[in-house]
Structure formats: structure tokens, C-alpha cells
Amino acid sequence: MKHLVIAGYGMVAQRFLEALTERDGTHWQVTVLAEEHRPAYDRVRLTSWFEGAELDLGGPPPGVQVRLGTPAIQVDRERKLINGEIPYDALVLATGSRPFVPPFPGAESCLVYRTIEDLEAMRAAASGKKTGVVLGGGLLGLEAANALRGMGLSTHVVEFAPRLMPMQVDEGGGAILKRHIDALGVTVHTGRGCVGVDRHIMTFADGGTLEADVVVIAAGIRPRDELVDLPKGPRGGYLVDESCATEDPAIWAIGECAALQGVCYGLVAPGYAMAEVVADRLTGGTATMATPDTSTKLKLLGVDVASFGTPFAEGLDVVITDQVTGVYAKLLLTDDAQTLLGGILVGDAAAYPSLRACLGGPLPASPLSVLSGQTSTPLNDGAQVCSCHAVTKAQVTNAITLGCADVPALKECTKAGTGCGSCVPLLKQLLTECGVQQSKALCEHFDLSRQELFDVIRVRQITSFNLLIAEHGRGRGCDICKPAVASILASMSNGYILDGEQAALQDTNDHFLANIQRDGTYSVVPRIPGGEITPDKLIVVGEVARDFGLYTKITGGQRIDLFGARVEQLPQIWRRLVDAGFESGHAYGKALRTVKSCVGSTWCRYGVQDSVRLAIELELRYRGLRAPHKIKSAVSGCARECAEARSKDFGVIATEQGWNLYVGGNGGFKPRHADLFLTDVSTEDLIRTIDRFLMYYIRTADRLQRTASWIEAMEGGLDHLREVIIDDSLGLCAELDAMIARHVESYADEWRETLDDPQRLARFVSFVNAPDTPDPEINFTFERGQKVPR
């Protein structure tokens, strides 16, 4: 029997062993030399280790001998021996890469981000520390930043290039990505190079400094190609041909240590493709490497980022930039606009799987309609669904036909979705297209939908996320289920949202009860019910804006937005506003935002009802009501509709006989007019119906589902809704009435509650160790008489 030795045991080596087994490589006696003391694990999901995720890849196939903690350190090519004692007839080099550490003074005191041991070192180093800095704004750098942020450190990312992720996104995409990451409280420094670290002070080439208790270097990788003296690529790595063979016919190289046509690829998909080729060659095949697919889709610090094809090539580009929702999309096409060459998606990468499958071919419709989601993207049978394992649509649909009824079954059968995981949404789509009903599980930590979790919390009277996940879930939760559960707990009137464990569950803005802006400052939006404000209160708002140097703007919802407040200024601003009779407008929460109104019959000669009075009554009734998504409303005093009530989640228009109620409208990316639900009803009946509408929505909608899509997805639509909240077909009305009564009775202003508690106030500082020091990175310039971010 021939001897096969694999030097290295990472993800690519594991895939090679599986591919060899699939091809019946039983004539090889296989030995794996592993440097680490654990079997191969999933480095793509490395950050999830902090959340308790299982990263193990399943171990070696039967019959394979793995020597853990035994790296290959010497190769005798003449005698074909490894470490002087292990014979080989074929040697596969899968030694991977090492972190690149720039040669600046103090680099030896920094950490790196590559292995589980590195993560353990990060956790130990971060204990009791306040500030963490990551050198490198690429894929690994942002993952490392997320890890530091998750450990409670004030986190900075330093990138030498002028934008984040310079290898994957362009200038426009980098700008939107930076805005998202700024909004999370992570400070980004682009275009800056570190020249030294000394005693927790990082020094930049421009002369600036930054305090850094923990420094993690994630500035790229270098191939580990020192084991064997063989020809190397221009930037390192064992030079291999299209069969992944080196100059020595008995030695092959795969993964990050291989330079295919002179290029080293630091992604898992090319490494898996190389593993398949070498496994095929060692079992008598003739497989060759095509140009690797370098497409990537990741969720970095909760932000979707995708890059596919060749988005930086020459051609025609179509770009959508939505500063409001933080979405950037670019498609690159050939000069005749007939062929998709590549693309970049930031903020919303839902279209990534189907768009990537269209690479090299035409789009099904105009680029704008495809990017806006107005046109679905059909796939042909040969379209590649999974780039990590080169799985086509035909292979997936065939597996579904043979009985695969869910994503785990498809993963096991085809391996699609077992690499980077970016094709999982497309697998779900194909299951649906094939008529297979899909799970409504909220996320991987709960098998229940949001509606089912709401009912569990309500019936069991659960008051904490930890108890909920212990009894009805698994793991430690994620950025999907934590805010969703936080919203449910808040809607059940579970007290101040920043007390105890609830603080760790909240979305970014809720952490500071204010909206974070692109420069790291916050905006303050006091509630002004119905848009009605006394001159004295108006003067107070103006004085606060003047004294704190805030940018002021009247919003579309009849509010005054005060921009540019530093985090340590928020309590001072709130105190002035609260003392004048204002309260939080909840502009930061998934909650009721505003009830807009016209002046109604009080002033307008066309008004037929007092729209201002009703708008104020509705806003004060529903203020602070937490929901799956934000809620907006309006009341118009006549059919001329000056308050634009039909573009709201619920809108009211006055009639001669009473009020008309409209539900399910919204503005935004996909505007929708609300539908007429009731006509000529009294104020009492109107409010009771809105009560039940809102509570039924909160109880049954999916996470981040607006009322418009909730009604559209509802079986029976408006008719079903009428049956439930008017005819009481499900017997729920008494319970819905009790829920809203409990909310009204228990409402408390979050600003005032914060001001009345010194412990709660302690979180509102830019620097924990220097609470009175403003953030030096915040700078302003002036436009049209007001300050704006520089």
C-alpha cells in the first residue's frame, strides 16, 4: 500500500480527506501531521467561538491516522521521509498561512487573530481592560473588532488603506460600511499607519496617538512555505500548476500555502477546489483547476457585505446608494450591458446568491429592477449555487427530488452551505420553489418563530433571555434573536430596557437611548405629540441646541431633531428637556415614532374633525410601545390628507360622520398605500380597533416585519384581520385589550428613569477611564450656519 502524508490539518486538509474518501482512496495509507492539538475546525466562523459555537468539522474519515501536536518540520525529498521517520509516496502540503505582523517597535507585544489559541489569548488579555485596537480593516480585522466589542472593550479599527475592506469593496461601498460600523460604536481610522506600540500607546505615521490596552494585528496573511525548498510564487507560496502539483512530482500543495499560477488565495473556496483536484489526481483522475471563484459574503459586525465576480474590472456599472437605510449596491456589466461581470453589496446582501449565479451571463431584467428587488432572478440548472463546493442548482434540486426536505439534509447530501454559508438563503429559496415547506425558526438558536416565542414568553411569564434560551433554545444567542427577544420583553412591560441582562440584548441605538450618527455623535429627538408645541417649549429646544452646539432640523414627522451630541452630553441635554416637560420620542427604538397631524378643524376651514387632539391622544397612548419594527401614524382632519395618513402603518382621516381607519401603509424603499379598514367610526371604536391592531401585530409579526408586509403575508389578509380584531373569531380581543391597558398603565419615560439613577447614568461616557474627556475623533465644520460632521 502506498503512503500518503498531509502536512497540516486545517479546513482544506479536512476537505481533501473527505474528497479522497469519496473517490475510494483505499489504496493509500494516510497520515496527517497537525501542528495544533485539536482536529480541523471551522476558521470561517472563528468569532462565533466566543458565543460557544461548535467549530469542529467532524474529524478525519475512518482509517486516517492523525498525529495532533506533531507538525512537519523536515522533508527529505531524496529519501521521501518526513521528520526523518515517516515515509511518503505522495506528500500534500496544506500548511496554510501565518498572520502578517508589520515590523514596527512593540509588535511583539500585540496579539494576532488566527487560531482558537489566539482567541483564548485575546479573552485573557481583554479581562479588566477598557480599550482594544485592531490593526487591519479587512475581513479578519473586522471579525477581530467584533470579538473585542463583544468582550466589552471600547474598540478601534485602524486601516492603512483609505477605506475598509479594500480588496472586496470600492470607495462607495467602503463609505457605507464605515457608517454602519461607526453606528455600532466602533471607531474607524482609515488612511493611517501604525509605526509603534509602547506601553499601551499606539503611535501613527501622522504623529497621532491612540490609547490601546489590547492590540490585535489582523493585517493580512503570508503563506507558510518554509517546509520544503521548492519554487515559490512572486509573493510566496509553493508554485503549482493547474493540477496543484509542485516542481517535485511527488509533492502537491493546496490552500493558502499554494501559489496557483503565481497567486495565493486566502479564501476557503479556492482551497476546497484545490483539495478536490488533488484527491482526483491521486485516485487516477485528470481534474484541473479553473480560475478560482473569489466571491465572498459575510456578516461583519452585523453588517452584510458581499463581493462577487470582478467588480473592479472595466465595464459599465450600475450603482445604488441609499444613505437613509445604509445600503450600497453595484453591478458591473460588459460594455454592451449584456453580461454580468461582478458586483458589490453592502448593508443588504439578500440578492448575492442569485446574482453570483448569474455571473458570466445576462440579468433577467434591468439592473435597477434586480437590485431593488422588483424582479426575481431565476437560475438555470448549471448555475453554481455553492462556490465553496462547486454545487450547481441541478445538483440541489435533484437532492430535493430524492427526499432532502430541509437545509441540513441538503448540506449533508450536497455539501452546499457547509463552507462559508452564504448560499444557505438560496438553498431555502430552491426548497420553496420545489414545493417544500420551510421552517419559520427565528434563528439557529431557536426552533420557534418570533410569534411562537412571544406566546411562550407570555404564557410562561418568562422575564429574561437567559431563562428563555435555557428552556426553549440553545447556545448563547445572536444579533438576530437577542434584539427580537428584547423587543418582546419590552412589549410585555418588563421594566426599564437597560436594567440587568436586557442592556446586552438591545440594538445599538437603544443602548444609549439616542440615534448614533455617522461621526459617532448622537441625535436627540424629544416627543412633540401631534406636532403641537408651546412657545415656551420651543424656546427651550432652541436654547438647548444653542448651548450644546447642536445641528437642528425639522423632521418629516413633525419633530425637532438635535444632532451632534456627544455621548457624555446626552444626560445633560435630557435634563434640560425633561425639566421643561419633554420626554423621549423613541426615535432610537423599534417602537411608535410619531403620530403626525394637520391643524384640523381648530384652524383649517376645510377641517371636519379635531385631528390634533386625536393625534396627541393616540401618541400618548402608544408612546414607548415596542414592536417588531418601527411604527408611524398620522391623522388628517379632512379628505385633503395634509398629514399623509395613507403612507403610515396606521392612518386616520376625518369624515363628517367620524373617522376612517387605514392600515398597512409605509414609506421607505418600497412605499405602499395603506388599505381602508373601517369607515365613519366613533373615536372610541377607532381607538379600540387600533389597540387590537397594534397588539395583534406585535404578537404575531416576524422579526423586523413592517405592518405592510405582515398584512400581505397574512392568510386571508384584511378579511382575516377584521375577523380577529373586530369579530373576535379567535377569542383574543379581551387579551389584546388587557395587553394595551397594561402598556398604558406601566409606561415610564426612559430618559427620566435614566436621570433618576446614578448607576444608569454611569454608562453615558465616551471613555470609562476618563468620563469627562470628549472623544478627540469627533470634529465639525459649518454649513448654512450650523455645524455638520467634518
* Nearest-angstrom CA–CA distance, 265 and 237: 10
* Nearest-angstrom CA–CA distance, 390 and 274: 12
The answer to whether the annotation marks 420 as part of a ligand binding site is no
pLDDT bucket at 391, cuts 50 / 70 / 90: confident
Please determine, for residue 769, whether its predicted confidence score (pLDDT) is greater than 70.
Answer: no
pLDDT bucket at 276, cuts 50 / 70 / 90: very high
Query: What digits encode the pLDDT tens for the residues 44-72?
Result: 888 778 767 778 888 898 889 999 999 99
CA distances from 331 to 310, 312, 315, 353 (A): 10, 10, 10, 14
Least confident of 285-299, 349-363, 443-457: 349-363
Please determine, for residue 292, whether its predicted confidence score (pLDDT) is greater than 90.
Answer: no
Q: Which comes out higher in pLDDT, residue 622 or 168?
A: 622
Q: Which comes out higher in pLDDT, residue 368 or 472?
A: 472
For residue 697, which of 689, 706, 684 has the smallest C-alpha distance?
706
Q: What is the mean pLDDT of the chain?
A: 87
Q: Mark residue 147 as left, alpha or beta (left: phi above 0; alpha: psi -120 to 50; beta: remaining).
A: alpha
Please determine, for residue 342, whether its predicted confidence score (pLDDT) is greater than 80.
Answer: yes
What is the maximal distance between C-alpha atoms in the chain? Answer: 101
Q: Which comes out higher in pLDDT, residue 372 or 677?
A: 677
Please determine, for residue 504, whether its predicted confidence score (pLDDT) is greater than 70.
Answer: no
The type of residue at 404 is: C
User: What pLDDT, on a 0 to 100 scale, did the predictor assign at position 648?
Assistant: 94
What order do you get walking across the sheet with 340-346 strand by strand?
Answer: 296-300, 303-309, 340-346, 327-333, 316-322
- pTM comes to 0.57
Average pLDDT over residues 289-307: 80
User: What pLDDT, on a 0 to 100 scale, did the predictor assign at position 65?
Assistant: 94
Q: Which three cell numbers stand for residue 452?
A: 411562537
Average pLDDT over residues 255-265: 92
The type of residue at 536 is: D
Average pLDDT over residues 294-313: 81
CA distances from 50 to 143, 149, 659 (A): 11, 11, 54
For residue 494, give the DSSP letter. -
Task: Give the per-residue SS3 of 400-443.
Answer: HHCCCCCHHHHHHHHCCCCCCCCCHHHHHHHHHHCCCCCCCCCE
Ramachandran angles phi, psi of 310, nearest 5°: -120, 75
Query: What digits encode the pLDDT tens for the residues 542-574?
Result: 999 999 989 888 877 888 999 888 888 999 999
* Nearest-angstrom CA–CA distance, 544 and 546: 5
Strands 659-663, 650-654: pairing is antiparallel
Query: What digits encode the pLDDT tens for the residues 672-699?
Result: 889 999 999 999 999 999 999 999 999 9
Q: Mark residue 152 as left, alpha or beta (left: phi above 0; alpha: psi -120 to 50; beta: remaining).
A: left
Answer yes or no: are the C-beta atoms of 184 and 301 closer than 8 Å.
yes
Q: Which comes out higher in pLDDT, residue 364 or 474?
A: 474
Please determine, for residue 447, whether its predicted confidence score (pLDDT) is greater than 70.
Answer: yes
**Which SS3 state, helix, strand or coil, does residue 184 take?**
coil
Please determine, for residue 637, whether its predicted confidence score (pLDDT) is greater than 60.
Answer: yes
pLDDT bucket at 768, cuts 50 / 70 / 90: low
Strands 194-198, 786-789: pairing is unpaired
The answer to whether the annotation marks 638 as part of a ligand binding site is yes
For residue 19, which of 404, 413, 282 has the smallest C-alpha distance?
282
Q: Which comes out higher in pLDDT, residue 95 or 761?
A: 95
Please determine, for residue 138, whether its predicted confidence score (pLDDT) is greater than 90.
Answer: no
User: What pLDDT, on a 0 to 100 scale, did the predictor assign at position 86?
Assistant: 95
Average pLDDT over residues 246-261: 95
For residue 386, which of 283, 275, 272 has the smallest C-alpha distance?
272
The answer to whether the annotation marks 478 as part of a ligand binding site is no
What order do you get walking across the sheet with 194-198 strand by strand?
Answer: 194-198, 201-204, 209-211
The answer to whether the annotation marks 598 as part of a ligand binding site is yes
For residue 114, the tally of other CB atoms under 10 A from its CB is 19
Please determine, for residue 354, whether its predicted confidence score (pLDDT) is greater than 90.
Answer: no
pLDDT bucket at 378, cuts 50 / 70 / 90: low
Q: Which residues contact 292 (CB under 8 A, 6 or more apart)?
A: 260, 265, 267, 269, 270, 273
Number of continuous H segments (helices) and E segments (strands) in the chain: 25, 38
Ramachandran angles phi, psi of 186, nearest 5°: -90, 125
Please determine, for residue 186, whether its predicted confidence score (pLDDT) is greater than 80.
Answer: yes
Average pLDDT over residues 128-151: 88
Query: What digits encode the pLDDT tens for the residues 219-228?
Result: 889 999 999 9
Q: Which three cell numbers stand for residue 683?
A: 373615536
pLDDT bucket at 373, cuts 50 / 70 / 90: low
Helix, strand and coil content of the chain, in percent to the nearest 5, comes to 35, 25, 45
All structural domains of the chain: 2-98+222-281 (3.50.50.60), 101-219 (3.50.50.60), 450-506 (no CATH), 507-584+749-784 (3.30.70), 591-748 (3.30.413.10)
Q: What is the DSSP string of 88-112?
A: -SEEEE---EEE-----TTGGGSEE
Answer yes or no: are the C-beta atoms of 583 and 754 closer than 8 Å.
no
Helix (H) / strand (E) element for 115: namely none
Ramachandran angles phi, psi of 576, nearest 5°: -65, -45
Answer yes or no: are the C-beta atoms of 760 and 754 closer than 8 Å.
yes
Query: What digits encode the pLDDT tens for the residues 196-233?
Result: 998 789 999 989 999 889 999 998 899 999 999 999 99
| Percent over 70 (pLDDT), the chain | 94
User: What pLDDT, on a 0 to 100 scale, did the predictor assign at position 12?
Assistant: 95
User: What pLDDT, on a 0 to 100 scale, did the predictor assign at position 670?
Assistant: 64
* Nearest-angstrom CA–CA distance, 741 and 725: 16
Please determine, for residue 353, whether its predicted confidence score (pLDDT) is greater than 60.
Answer: yes
Q: Which three cell numbers stand for residue 451?
A: 410569534
The type of residue at 636 is: S
